Structure 1
Amino acid sequence: MDGDALRDVLATVREFVREQVVPREAEIDDKDQVPDPLRQAARAMGLYGFAIPEQYGGLGLSMYEEAQLVFELGYTTPALRSLFGTNNGIAGHVLLEGATAEQRARWLPQLAAGEITAAFALTEADAGSDPGGLRTVARRDGDHWVIDGSKRFITNAPVADMFMVFARTDPDAAPSRGITCFLVPRESTGLSVGPKDQKMGQFGAWTADVVLNGVRVPDDAVVGGAAGVNQGYAIAMRCLAHGRVHIAALCVGMAERLVDETVQYARSRRQSGRAIASFQLVQGLIADSVTDHYAGRSLVLDVARRYDDGSDRRVGPAVAKYFASEMVGRVADRAVQVHGGSGYMRGVAVERFYRDARLFRIYEGTSQIQQVIIAKSVVGEAANESA
């Protein structure tokens, strides 16, 4: 996308977020639902397909351009981004990373238009940060596959039309091998979705369990066709690398909002006859948060460039996700501290963001998984030595 077009997109999204979504954040948090007018506006702006190539009806943003867009989306409740995040991110990228030409042509235009919502069904009760431990299985039955198992914490499961289901197809293979990804429509017999999870935060962003009990899908449901059998783990890892840069950018956007809320409150709140912004210890908290935000923004943009040129799609995404998710937690904590007792009250923005931010250190791979990825990539074979 050329520079002028990107600036127009960013300006439009910024106006939408700050003038239409921000005023309704408390409502979204209270009702655990994003209002339909906001959903419709997101579709009209092309947000369901910003990372999907233009040939399929998307905006075709590069990772560097996407990061800038997500900075804007991160300024408000994560529930907004969650509406279309999986279409562009880990679910949509299943098709971009591993699908056949026919599968891309069939499904990507519908994802980009927001006609369907996709879900990335990888996580299980005993297979979260390590997808190699998944227990969902798929066995061939003639020209079909039969899938049995259950998935947990699946984003958008309550409203998803299509599930990208990862299942073990070779029980004798190593944990990171023998996994295949299947396209499973919601209406498939044997597929059921549990009630919405009751979470600490990020209300309006829905997750739920997904159960597959003898679900039958044809051969053409295998992502990548015949060549995609047993390639699901590699597909998942590539999707997660993209998703980690995306989530890092989202954390940077939230950090910016938290800094703004902190500064505004420090200027207006008076103690001992003067604004608390005049107290040097408060200034120190603000300075640390501004510095964290600057560092996170610069890191994410640098990692995004390297992702685009192909020079680093492993360590960089892990570094960005690790730093930015931990960073926004620190910024949120300081924001509550500057607000004092008010920051602990429901209905105050920083209290809500404090709850929302906590999840970023868990999904798309926990902070500890990112540490392992980073360290092993630097240390090499020595990391696997045993006594």
Structure 2
Amino acid sequence: MELITTNSNVHQEYQLSKLDSKMGLAPYIGVISWYKHRIDSHRLKIAIQKILDSVPILGGRLVKKLFSPLKVVCNPQKDGVAFIHIDLNEQEINIDNLLDAKTYIKNEFNIPKKSSDAINKDTPLVYVILNHNQNYYGITLFVNHLIADGGTYFQLLEYLSQAYEDPEYVAKSEPLFTIDFNKIDNFMAASFQKLSWKDKLLSSTSFIVFILRYFLQNKNNWSYIECILTKEKLDLIKRKNQNQPNKEIAYSTNDALFEFLSVVPIKRFIFPCNLRYRNVGIPENYLGNAEALVSDLTKAENNYMFKHTDVRKSINELPRIYSLIPTFNNNYFFHNSWVKLQNYLPGFGGKLILQKVFEFDDIPKKELLSFAVKCSLIYKLTENKYLLIYINLKDAVSQVGKKLTNLGVEEVIIKGLS
């Protein structure tokens, strides 16, 4: 492992936001991007260096002193971004099976499992891994969740690709990020004041309830679906659900999918909302966590079945914002989509052939699939293919599985929770 340090001589400290500080239990964010063209390691390191010089916080270390807030401290010429180069030589790489593609990387580098494990340690916040044989090249970007959400992550991945392709990109694009953690704290504080006392109580205690429910849940009643949806299938879902009376209401493919997956009555729906694009004072290039969980209720007149108009209204009004997931009862559903965040597919001088959530080959996979939480996740694997994961009680999973099969989805994998 090589440490790429900043050329700056200035010692800097950044106090993280309260929202950032709550992400300690989350793992490092990471996807692996596969290519068939050669990725030059020296050129990649130069790109990392340029970004680090522009955004020194990426090379910092997490520091937490007693009775003091969590900070990122940047020591010039000492701390930095970790770069790992793995030459697999003659080892075969097979990524044809998109659902079960390996990463060909084992965790031999002591990369923390949880983001908080990096606090008060000489542990990088950012890792870049290049692994390859003669035919395939994989680039993995790992970022500590205490300084980044999906919005920051995919922006940084785009910057890295652009800087690799164009040596002058960083200089032409500065500032790459806006670093002002007070912005999100001020917004969240103002939003919290608007909540009713019941919602304030729900927001402050929801994580404890979530943990208790997780340990008490009988997983034998739960199962999950994994399948690949093509763009054509997503468009078909949208067309099937588009018979709506009010043509003026915005209607996205994600809205249609959310409605498609709702097969049993639910009272509360939850989804992450990227505040960078909501005109609430958070810049589009904001560095840090700026995704709030928005929660709202379905309507009795719709028999508590989810309608896409419900989420449209919630996005426009942001009625209830939480920093954690409220799950007091089973009558909820959580939907998460990365598709909009993946609008730019990093090419690194060529064409992306696969992008997938990173998992070490020697660590049990699919941690998400061990949680008895009613939820779904969709993200882009290739330009035209998407991975859908759906978790629920067995009856609901069976119904969604039948809908997917009737839609013509070729392979719908249904398994019990591990």
Q: Tell me the TM-score normalized by structure 1.
A: 0.26
Greater share of strand residues, 1 or 2?
2
Greater share of helix residues, 1 or 2?
1
Q: Tell me the TM-score normalized by structure 2.
A: 0.24
